[in-house]
Structure formats: C-alpha cells, structure tokens
Amino acid sequence: MDSHDLKFLVAEDEFIVALGLKQLLEDMGFKVTSLVSTALEAITKSEADKPDFILMDVQLSGSLNGIEAAEIIRYKHNLPIIFLTDRTNEQILNQSKFASRYHSIRKPVDILQLSELIRQINNETIIQPGANISQPSSYTF
C-alpha cells in the first residue's frame, strides 16, 4: 500500500493536541478519518472509519484508557496502533503487560521520528499480512 493512501484515526483527549496531530498527518500527505477523545469513541470509529493506523493517547477521557481500547481494537481489527505518551504515560505503558505489542512515540511528536515509525510499521504490515517523507521537523505541540 502506498504510504500516502494511509488513513489515520487520532484518539487524543486534548483538543489542541488532536488538531495539531491532524495537521501534522495531513502535511505528511495522509488522511485523518476522525478525531476522538474517548476510548469508546476510538473503538466505535475504528469500526466505522476502517483506518490503517491509530494514533492513541495512553490516557483518554472516559471509563477506559487508551491501552484498554487498543486491546479491544487489536482483538477485533488487528490495526497498528501508535501510542502517544508523555513521561508519566510512558511509565504506565511500560508497566502494561501489552507493552511489547505496540509502538509508542513521545509527546511532543517529532515529525521525522513519526514518519520513520509509520514507514517501519507499514513495511512490517506488508511483509507480514494481518514513505519516506521529507518535511521540516518544526512541529511541536
């Protein structure tokens, strides 16, 4: 699959951060299907939107966190999920028994690091079924 055909769902409960991520992904040439702020919305929209990737904050609004939502989504759809973490949430993710199944990137998001991670995961998905992007790395939010 051409990397520019990839669709992303963004699950982030801080609206300004979610908008920044949407803009970043669109600047990289990707499509963003939805912005959601809760784990339940992420589960529902992953079914409706059928994204290729999900960017998900570890801590989301509502009764479930991002890790719990990711487990449900992976069970139902086996979608690649990239967790967005800060220092505190990174510790929560690392303590999770599911940490080895997911990729993560630290906030503020570095465009070059995100681009490389997407490329790596996309290549893994192609090799095991089931873009080199050049942009300035000045996005911080």
What CATH number should be reported for the domain holding residue 36? 3.40.50.2300
- Higher model confidence: residue 125 or residue 86? 86
Please tell me the predicted confidence (pLDDT) of residue 92.
72
Question: Which of 52, 45, 39, 38 has its CA nearest to residue 1?
Answer: 52
Strands 31-36 and 81-85: unpaired
pLDDT at 41 over 60: yes
Instruction: For residue 1, name the pLDDT band (cuts at 50, 70, 90).
Output: low
Please tell me the predicted confidence (pLDDT) of residue 135.
42
pLDDT at 69 over 70: yes
Task: For residues 132 and 89, give the distance between their C-alpha atoms in angstroms, rounded to a whole number.
Answer: 29
pLDDT at 86 over 50: yes
- Higher model confidence: residue 131 or residue 113? 113
Please tell me the predicted confidence (pLDDT) of residue 2.
59
Give the number of other Cβ atoms within 10 Å of residue 103's Cβ. Answer: 14
Task: For residues 129 and 34, give the distance between their C-alpha atoms in angstroms, rounded to a whole number.
Answer: 25
pLDDT at 66 over 70: yes
Whether residue 55 lies inside any domain: the answer is yes
Q: pTM, whole model, 2 decimals?
A: 0.82
What's the mean per-residue pLDDT of the chain? Answer: 84
CB 89 within 8 A of CB 12: no
Domains in the chain, number: 1
Whether residue 132 lies inside any domain: the answer is no
Task: For residues 39 and 67, give the distance between their C-alpha atoms in angstroms, rounded to a whole number.
Answer: 9
Give the number of other Cβ atoms within 10 Å of residue 89's Cβ. Answer: 20
Burial class, 48, CB count within 10 angstroms (exposed 0-12 / middle 13-18 / buried 19+): exposed
Please tell me the predicted confidence (pLDDT) of residue 91.
72
Whether residue 138 lies inside any domain: the answer is no
Instruction: For residue 124, name the pLDDT band (cuts at 50, 70, 90).
Output: confident
CA 60 from centre of chain: 13
Whether residue 136 lies inside any domain: the answer is no
Domain residue limits at 119: 3-127
Please tell me the predicted confidence (pLDDT) of residue 132.
43
